[in-house]
Amino acid sequence: MLFNSYSFLFAFLPVVFVGAFLFGRYSHRLAALWLGLASLCFYAIWTPRFLVLLLGSIMFNYAAAWWIGMESEKAKSGHAKLVLIGAITFNLGLLGYYKYANFLIDSSNHFLGLNLSALDIILPLGISFFTFTQIAFLVDVYRGVAREYNFINYLLFVTYFPHLIAGPVLHHSQMMPQFGNPKTFRINPENISAGLTVFVLGLAKKVLIADTLAKGAVPLFSAASAGVPLTFFEAWTGALAYTLQLYFDFSGYCDMAVGISLLFNVKLPINFDSPYKAASIIDFWRRWHMTLSAFLRDYLYIPLGGSRNCGTSRRYVNLMITMLLGGLWHGAGWTFIAWGGLHGAYLIVNHGWRAVSPRLGIKASSRFARIAGVALTFFAVVVGWVFFRADNFQTAWNMLAGMAGFHGVSIPASLEKHVSAIAGSALHSRIRFDGFLPSVGVPSIVFITLLFGLVLVWGFPNLQRLLESYRSADRARSMPLAFTGIWNRMLPRRVDATLLAASLSALLFFVVVLAIGSSGPSEFLYFEF
């Protein structure tokens, strides 16, 4: 079931919402159980046969966590460590079988000349997310920073439907106290108002922006995969369309997850903080998929040695290992590994530059340095996304060759008059205006959405800033989100900013519903990972 489907919007979500607060009037544990069972139903609607896998994983890890906790309390740390190692091995083995078995078979056939047959395996949705969530919990139980003997709370922690399929990666300290708090299951009109607004904004990101940009990214990457020599304009259109499609698709999902959770008075961690505004790759990874970055840092990079008590070379090795495994986490393919290795190299260069630049007298705080840093970081990220999106290296090389201008420069004929007027006749005479290749159809709406998306990315506040303002506001807290200050400065006093914001949200929702009806719901990109 998709967040952007009629069945979710008008059936599943309303029923679960009403049930949670009806049960919450009598018992918060009963309400938590209702949410847990609803989450299992949400997962079962996708693939019923994998519900057994999910439940088996939950019961195994709950038992392992209980065992580790008991052994730790008995001061039998050696026994607890053995249980931890065994449980992590089981989890990684399960993940490896479903996600990487055929990748290993294909790689062995290619590099070793074997002729092994591929296995008949279907990747269970969300297996990476619920596996990593439980591994982190096991490690924290072993460290003595987590304890949870209430199975209902643990079930809800793992299966909570807003995050189950595509994240964010949850931490027990963020969620367990909320699920155990009776106030969570009492209606809060302010949170409902804010949650609905956030949800609608995320839904619009996905349906109106990401799905439109896909109409440019899909045909152009398909053309590159087929060996079509894309020109400079075509290749950059494809790369930028995918760059923004991925951003609005995943950030839209995360916004919807945050909005849905606010309806239930549950606060999910923010997963995006305007990553394309980052002035360095280090800053980018503090802003993009923040919960995954935190997981890789706390449970992989730091255990490897991190940056403390080790030399520069060892630190860079730890960074590269972390990013290579982070790339492999996203997908079982060499292009994902290459993407992770590329970002590992970016981080190494970035750290090296930070160490050298003060000696050269370069000030990173200047406005020019900031703008240059954002532009360079965005360019590096776009190049990385080419590998991330490409189905093989040849496709990536074809895209990059086009982006470098090796196949010429071509601008669609519909834009000829605009370029001529802006650039002048000198530049106009050097550019071919033969449009896109006949086999590559890109609607004009893609270019409009691309420009609009760039304006949104760099010119507007993100969800984190809006929510911070909402939560710290002293007045008008019942208004959707934190638009009060903005609207009150722009509108005459007789106009109710709260009513206007709510009306605009309702209008946006109506437009999105119509768009879903015309094209149908589409899956989120991170469902593949």
* Active-site residue set: 330
223: tokens are 């053309």
For residue 475, give Cα distances in angstroms to 259, 263, 265, 397.
Answer: 21, 20, 19, 55
CA 286 from chain centre, in angstroms, equals 13
Residues 265, 270, 271, 277, Cα dihedral to 10°:
150
- The per-type count for the chain, helices as H runs and strands as E runs, is 25, 0
Secondary structure class of 432 (helix, strand, coil): strand
Peptide bond into 168 cis (omega under 30): yes
Pick from 350, 404, 4, 55: which is nearest to 229 by CA? Answer: 404
Q: Are 474 and 482 in contact (CB under 8 A)?
A: no
Could you give phi then psi for residue 109, rounded to 5 degrees? -60, -40
Kind and range of the H or E run holding 47: none
Matching residue, tokens 């990059």? 400
Using DSSP's 3-state secondary structure scheme, residue 410 falls into strand
* Amino acid sitting at position 36: G
Q: Can you spell out the DSSP letters for 333-399?
A: SHHHHHHHHHHHHHHHHHHHHHHHGGGGT--TTSHHHHHHHHHHHHHHHHHHHHHHH-SSHHHHHHH
Residues 6+ apart with CB under 8 A from 156: 32, 33, 35, 36, 39, 179
Say what the alpha-carbon torsion angle 18, 263, 244, 460 is, to the nearest 10 degrees.
140
CA distance linking residue 277 with residue 49, whole number of Å: 42
Q: How far apart (Å, rounded) are the C-alpha atoms in residues 269 and 87?
A: 26
Tokens 């008075």 correspond to 265
Q: What is the DSSP string of 217-265?
A: HHHHHHHHHTT----HHHHHHHHHHHHHHHHHHHHHHHHHHHHHHHHTT
Q: Could you give the CA distance from residue 267 to residue 63 in angstroms, rounded to a whole number?
A: 27
Q: Are 8 and 46 in contact (CB under 8 A)?
A: no
